[in-house]
Structures are given as structure tokens and as C-alpha cells.
Chain A
């Protein structure tokens, strides 16, 4: 299994000059996946944010009840939060729940510390922050322990400077505007979802850290705001707190260009702007090319069904999940492992390329 299989039927959104559309805030960038209309199954799935009735019988377990007429695919790693005193839970994986059915998940985990109380059905769905999705994916299929997600929540608190302990709601309710001058609403507003978006490629410091592909355009629109705020927002918070300077690609590109005869300052600026856009697009392209060289192993999810096969996929440097029906892929969720240094892939690719060139230049053996 590789990236080409996983993202079959999709392509990157491009502008009128053929360059990737890349939206960048601070050091975080997003490129967008799109597809032909027939591969966006808008009417097949119900809204994952509102469709499910979530309860549980014991800690470490959730039951997702879909009372609607359509199947539901829960987007990657959801947390089910209550407004009353109860033990909130998170699922370390995506899930597919057919219409008019309910499914038990025994690898769910508590995310509310020492708080007791069952889920009674009236929960709000939130997305688990990107910073800890890798940790959650490592816990897929691990049953028998309700506390196996606590370490993830603590890690989230450490990374974002919020004293969560083992209480994830402290992160969701934290006022970053007051403590860090970061307005998450503004952050959401910055990223504009192009029409016909079916997935995203998320980069930080020019490295791909996540790829999410969803079942349809409508589904993407339904999860968009929450995904940006809850999931990708955590990465932006870390970046902004680190004080990373805003990029100045244009200025650097302009300084590297030599004016040609007769070129006005504005024409030179326009040339620099085009070149800047091209280099941003090329960087994303190069990173994607690297990822296409990876091969993924898969491990079957215990909640996989005949209709919706769910697998946890792993490769050097990345971990994720795919939900598909045969060869047709509904959902892909891919996360870069935190400790992975992608330069190792580049070294491999560079070496391979060098040897390929050498090989091409060699004469055939002849006696």
C-alpha cells in the first residue's frame, strides 16, 4: 500500500497557472485535495459531527449508535465530550457505523482524569488535536485499559502550555487569546476551504505532517471548522508560541533576481511573485514525491467489517488509518511520527537518483 493507492481518484487543487494552491499562516501550510464529482459521495454519508448517539457501559468503551438512514464515518480520532459531569472518552481511530446500527468500541479511552460518570447520548463531538494523533493511533486495538490515552492528553498539555493533566476539556476550553494572544477563531478564518475540497495536506516548516482525505465535499465542509480549530489548531498554537517568524519568501526571492533590460520595478516584482509561488508549490510537490516512495504495512482494525475495511497503516516515519470498501478508499488519515526526521528519506532518494544516473551513463558490457 502506498500514497498513490491511498489517494486514488484525487488530485491537488491548482490555480490558473497550474501551481498548487497553498495557504500559509506562520509556518503552517495547507494544500488541498479535490476529485471529480462522481467520487464525492455527498449523499452516502450522514454528518459525522451530529449524527451519532454515544453511550458507554464501562470506562474504555463507547457505543456509537447511528439512528439515521445513512452510514456514518467518524472523522479521525474524535473525542466525545459531555456538558454534565461524566467521563469523556476519545476514540483512537476513525470508525464506520452503518445506518440504523450501533457498534461497540473497546479500545476507546478516558480523557477526563478522575471524573466519573457514563456517557448518556447527548455528547458533543470534538476532534483530537493533531499533536497527539500519532500517540492515539499507536493505541488502536488495545483493549482492557481505560487509561491508555491519558499519556496523550498530558503530552498535549505539555506541548501547548495548557495545564491539562489528564483532562482534555481544559485544552478545548482554554482561552489562548488571553494567555498567548492567539485567537483560534481568527486562525480558522484564515484558512479558506476551496470549493470541492475532499482532503488536505498539512505542512509545518515545509514538512508534511498530516494528510486527511474524507468521503465527500459535503463531509469536508461539515467537519472543516472543527477540524481546523481542534485538530490543526494545536500545531499552529505550538508554532505561534515558539515565536517562529512569519515567512518572507517574496523578499528573499526578489533579492535573488537580477532585473532584465527594460523591466520596470513592478514587472520585476511580478516576476518575483510568480517565482515565489512556484517555489512554494514545488516544495509541496517535492515533499509529496518523497512520500510516494514509502510503502505502508497494514494491520487490521478489530472493528473492520465486510463493507468497510479499516486498517492501521505504518511506514517509516508515518502512521495512519484507511477506511475503504475493497479498492475504493473512503477515508485516509496519515500522521508524521513526531521523532521522524524526513531528511533520511531525502538521503535515500538522492542516493537512489545518483546511482540511477550512474547506471544510465554506463556502457553496456561488451566483449
Chain B
């Protein structure tokens, strides 16, 4: 893979990348205090278009990075799919991008990033927007169908039950209204064993060729029938598909359907024609009681939800087994449970596993110093729920320790926030020898320094003048609502202020400033696995 960026274009590309890194970290579809939803969307789209006009690869290279927000990734993907071939390539050659499929690799990385970090609803909503924008070229169809049908069967079954209408819209968009009707007829007849060569060919070209290795054509047909509301054939498959079978049963009686998502059950009950509508859903009181019963019995409750309930239930004298710890994906939930209920090896090991998973794969620093704020304000905060800042800081510390060789220093507990002493403890030579030469220092703190305010900035400025210059990253565990990423700055002396979610992007931005060519090479390497 050759980087074709010329010296002349470097500045242009650097500015475009830097601007988009900032946008990608804050992009949101939600209205804020100062901007309507439409204004927000337009701002993101314009930024991406501007970057794409400089060089086509830019928005996608950024959208493939951890830390890019869901809205940005969606717009970057949709923009690329909308233009098809063509566009200016200043970073990699058009041959590599199109013919050698590097563009494809990057788009798939963006899809994965969107799915992993924002979730299935974001991806499916994007398909809906592609339909609204009438983007329906071969590439788009391929990505949509692969996303739906190239996955494990259990995941597809669950998705089909929970997101029936979104999948229906996506397939209708991909096939077109006329061919959708034809497909349903072909598949329905196939259930009765009626096929012919032409039908088989159509089915293969519109469905079969997109199936992953673990998805059979029979199963895919069943999914299609399910999302298009053809339930007649579901009885044939009793026993094989537990979620679908329960869904089918829930259309008449929701009792015992503990594998079906809550939203699906309540959706069924809200239909006045449902046999249990009057009994379970016709008044607000009945709705509340039904919801509580569904939630108590549901096995669909995530492991994350289960681990957070242990405290409430312990207070009520209920012993709940935390057998699903290995399924928990929310490290903050685990840490808060540890603080409140006590540490077990199982809980802490799982936190460690998640830290390994979250570690920065292309972290540019090998040796870092980390200052962790353990003051009282981290335990309770007017902006975040109890212990959340503390949990975020602890987890960030673990992630950084997995990403680089890290030394730690702590503020003292209980009294006040004294980052200055913690900084000097980190960089001081002690009797055992000189400290490692840190390439960067990360300060994990909510930014409220009080002994005294401004002291940390003085210390850092003095250190930079008298010892050496070093990038200082202030990572705040507080998510500020407006702009969603602008954390309270600790001091003008820090290089970058970020939240834990925007840190990867902010580190990237800082490194970009130093060497854009190196940044691009690192991105390309990360994507090609080289």
C-alpha cells in the first residue's frame, strides 16, 4: 500500500484531518441547548463533505477510529456510498482504493466501529437513511446484506425478532418493492417444496450469495418470512429457533416468553387485538405491573443490568448469583459494583479483560506517566452519578496500563485535590534511580483543583521550562452535555483536554500536529493489519 501524499498537499490534508477529528468526537444528532437537530446534522455533513473534497479517504480514516461518534461514522459511510467510484485521492492511489479494495477494507472497518461502539440500532437507522437518500448501488446492497446475513445464527435470530420493521425496510430498499414481492413469493413456495431454476437463480442473486458460512439458506428464508410478517411457516420450525418460537407464541400469549425482548412484548400487547391487551395493557396501572413482571422474568436483561442490580437486591435481602459476570461489557457497572459490594476476583478479573479489550491498539506512546485523582469529588459529582467519575478514572488507568508501560501517581484521598504534589512524585528522581523518561503524562481528574486552583499549571509550566517539554493530557471522566466532549480544562498548561471517550481522537489530533505523514501511515497500517 503506497501513501501518495505529496509535500504540497500535506498542509491541506492535515488541516482537513484535524478539523474532522474534532467534529467526529462531538458529532451528535440530538438537539442541544444551542443547536437544533437539523443544524447539528448539517454541520457534521458539511464537515465531512469538505474533508472529502480535499481527499476522499479522510472521513473514513477518521470514522474507523475508536472515539469517533456514531453520527459521524454514519455520515462518513453514507457519503462514501453515495458517491460510488470517483472523487479525489490524495492519500492512497485510486488503484489501491478502488481496484485493490482498500476502500472496501476501510468501509468495513467503519461498519465494525459503528456496530461495536454505537450498536445495532445505529447501523439499522443508517440503512433507513440510505433508503431516504435513495442510495442503492451494488456496493451499498452488498454492505447491507452482509451486515444482516453474515453473522452467527443466534445473533441474526435475535436481531430479526427485535428489529423486524427496520430489517423489513432495509430489505425492501435493497430489493426494491417489486422484487421484494417476488422474493416473498419465491420463498413461500419454497416452504412447500415448489421451486424452479429461475426462482432459484433470483433467490441466489438477491439473498444466497450474501449468507455467511454459518447461515443456511433455509434459516435465511425463515428470517425473511419473519420480518415480512409471514408467520404461517413458523410452526414448521418449532424447537429449532427458541426466540422466534417464543415470539410466535407471544403473539397470542406473552406468559413464559422470557427470551423475547421487552420492547417486542409490549409492542404486541399494545395492539388492542391482542388476546391479553385488556388484561395486561389497557390502563397505565396494568402497564406498569406488566412491565415489572416482564423485567423480573426476562432473560434478555443484559448482563450489565444484572450486575448493577446486585446492590439493590442485597439491600432487600435477595441473593443473586453473579454468574453472568463474564458476559458483562460495561466496566463502569462492574467497578461501581465493586466499590459498593466489595471486590471479588471474578469481578476484578472481568474488569481487567475489558481493559485489555479497550486498550489502544495503535497507541503512539511506549512509556507514560499517569496521575489519578482520588479526591472526594470523584466519588460524588453534580454532573455524574455517584462514583461514576471514580470508576471511569480507575478504568482509564487500567486501559492506559494495557496500552503502554505506565507508572502511576495518586492524589491523596479525602482532603483536597492536590495534583501538583502527585505530578512531582511522578517525575522526581528517587533513591532507586531516575524515573523513566515519559513520552507523555496523562492526568485523570475531573479538573477541579483546589490546593490551590492554578497550582498545577504553574508546576507544569516550571517543569517544562526547567526540565523538559512533554505533552500533558488531561482526561476528564465528566461528560459535559453541550458539545458532548468539551471537558473542563485543568489548566492552560495541558496540551489536550479530553473525556475518556474522546481521548483516542485527541491523542490522534495531537500527534497529527507533530507529523501528519506518520499519522496517516499509522492509520493505514492499523487498517491493513500490517
Q: Report if B199 contacts A (CB, 8 A).
A: no
Residues on the A chain within 8 Å of B375, using CB: 192
Residues on the B chain within 8 Å of A267, using CB: 428-429
A250-B448 CB under 8 A given contacts A26-B453, A188-B382: no
- Map CB proximity to A onto B60-83 as digits: 1 under 8 Å, 0 otherwise: 000000000000000000000000
Residues on the B chain within 8 Å of A269, using CB: 424, 459, 462-463, 466
- State whether A191 touches B450 (Cβ < 8 A): yes
A273-B459 CB under 8 A given contacts A21-B416, A26-B453, A189-B448: yes
At the interface with chain B, which of A76-84, A120-128, A241-249, A307-315?
Answer: A241-249
Give chain B's interface secondary structure class: loop
Q: Report if B451 contacts A (CB, 8 A).
A: yes
- State whether B382 touches A190 (Cβ < 8 A): no
Chain B residue nearest to A225 in the complex (CB)? B382
Residues on the A chain within 8 Å of B90, using CB: none
C-alpha spacing A256/B311, complex, angstroms: 54
- State whether A23 touches B450 (Cβ < 8 A): yes
Residues on the B chain within 8 Å of A13, using CB: 415
Chain B residue nearest to A22 in the complex (CB)? B451
- State whether A186 touches B376 (Cβ < 8 A): no
Q: Report if B427 contacts A (CB, 8 A).
A: yes
- State whether B450 touches A190 (Cβ < 8 A): yes
A195-B414 CB under 8 A given contacts A266-B428, A266-B429, A273-B420: yes
A189-B446 CB under 8 A given contacts A13-B415, A22-B451, A246-B454: yes
- State whether B458 touches A186 (Cβ < 8 A): no
- State whether B424 touches A270 (Cβ < 8 A): yes
List residues of B (433-485) whose CB comes within 8 Å of A's CBs.
446, 448-455, 458-459, 462-463, 466-467
List residues of B (282-336) whose CB comes within 8 Å of A's CBs.
none
- State whether A280 touches B452 (Cβ < 8 A): yes
List residues of B (259-282) whose CB comes within 8 Å of A's CBs.
none
Q: Report if B20 contacts A (CB, 8 A).
A: no
C-alpha spacing A86/B454, complex, angstroms: 44
- State whether A247 touches B382 (Cβ < 8 A): no
Residues on the B chain within 8 Å of A15, using CB: 412, 415
Q: Report if A254 contacts B (CB, 8 A).
A: yes
- State whether A190 touches B453 (Cβ < 8 A): yes
Give A333 Cβ to nearest chain B Cβ, in Å. 24
Give B203 Cβ to nearest chain A Cβ, in Å. 61
C-alpha spacing A225/B380, complex, angstroms: 12
A186-B428 CB under 8 A given contacts A192-B417, A250-B459, A265-B466: no
C-alpha spacing A248/B456, complex, angstroms: 11
- State whether B448 touches A190 (Cβ < 8 A): yes
Residues on the A chain within 8 Å of B427, using CB: 266
C-alpha spacing A26/B427, complex, angstroms: 27
Give A302 Cβ to nearest chain B Cβ, in Å. 39
C-alpha spacing A195/B450, complex, angstroms: 16
C-alpha spacing A210/B446, complex, angstroms: 28
List residues of B (187-241) whose CB comes within 8 Å of A's CBs.
none
List residues of A (266-298) whose CB comes within 8 Å of B's CBs.
266-267, 269-270, 273, 276-277, 280
When the two chains form the complex, which single residue of A194, A249, A254, A265 contacts B452, counting CB atoms closer than 8 Å?
A249
Q: Report if A185 contacts B (CB, 8 A).
A: yes
- State whether A186 touches B452 (Cβ < 8 A): no
- Hey, which bits of chain B sit against chain A, CB under 8 A? 375-377, 381-383, 412, 414-417, 420-421, 424, 427-429, 446, 448-455, 458-459, 462-463, 466-467, 488
- Hey, which bits of chain A sit against chain B, CB under 8 A? 13, 15-16, 21-26, 29, 185-186, 188-195, 225, 246-251, 254, 264-267, 269-270, 273, 276-277, 280
Q: Which 6 A-B pairs have the closest CB atoms?
A: A24-B452, A23-B450, A265-B466, A246-B454, A192-B376, A250-B458
What are 28 contact pairs spanning A and B, CB under 8 A? Answer: A15-B415, A22-B451, A23-B416, A24-B453, A26-B453, A185-B383, A186-B488, A189-B381, A190-B449, A190-B450, A192-B375, A192-B377, A246-B453, A247-B452, A247-B454, A250-B458, A250-B459, A264-B428, A265-B463, A265-B466, A266-B427, A266-B428, A266-B463, A267-B428, A269-B462, A269-B466, A270-B428, A273-B420
